Structure 1
Amino acid sequence: MKMMIAIVQDKFIDKLMSTFYDAEIYVTKIASSGGFFKNGNTTLLLGAEEENLEKVYKIFREITEAEEVDTARGRVQVSGATIFVVDVEDSLRI
């Protein structure tokens, strides 16, 4: 099993949550804030079996997208979602 930790721009959250719900993918939503640009974002925690990772990635790819934003130092590309995947030794639902 894998644990996915995704930092997502707030503007994508409603559609992502709805799509995950429809796909029967359980997700925990945690409010967070951006570091570099201090933009609103949300952290999602998802548990997925390895064979389902591509299904989850596909949802992220369909809904989130990177964008360029103007900064004092010029235009910078900001990702729609940053996803970390880590191994899970054990998982229980109690």
Structure 2
Amino acid sequence: MKLLVCIIDNVYADEVELKLKKQGYRMTELASSGGFWRKGNTTFLFGVEEKDIKELQDALKVVCLDLERKKQRSSKQEHRYTSFLLDVKDAAPFLAIGK
């Protein structure tokens, strides 16, 4: 099991949540802002099996590009989101910070 931490521009956040939930992905959403991109972001935590990682990454990309097409605008940024992939066993101390 892997943990995909995805920090995404707020422009895409609602669409990512809606579309990926419809596709059956389970996620935890955290509002975030500050120094990472210096604007409003949403951080999604996805628990995913290793065999499904590429499918999830492709789905994230498709949702962002579809939203841009729908709104008839292109991103001025090179990247629409940044993600980090962790083994769940390595993420356990990170997830237990508040305990």
TM-score, normalised by the number of residues in structure 1 = 0.76
Q: How many angstroms does 1:22 deviate by?
A: 0.7
How many Å separate the matches in 2 of 1:52 and 1:28? 17
Quickly say closer, same or farther: Cα 1:37–1:25, change in 2 above 3 A: closer
Identify the residue that residue 63 of structure 2 maps to in structure 1: 63
Q: What is the CA-CA distance between 1:37 and the residue it aligns to? A: 4.8
Q: Which residue of 2 aligns with 1:14?
A: 14
Partner deviation per Cα, 1:60-85 (whole Å, 9 max, x = no partner):
111236833xxxxxxxx452100000
Unmatched 5+ stretches in structure 1: 69-76
SS in 2 for 1:43: strand
Question: Highest Rg: 1 or 2?
Answer: 1
Are 2:48 and 1:51 aligned? no
Higher strand share: 1
After TM superposition, where is structure 1 displaced by more than 4 Å over at least 4 residues in a row?
none
Equivalent residues, number: 82
Q: CA RMSD in A?
A: 2.0
Q: Is the 8 A contact 1:64 1:81 kept in 2?
A: no
Identity %: 30
Distance 2:30 2:55 in 1: 22
Three-state SS of the structure 1 residue aligned to 2:89 is coil
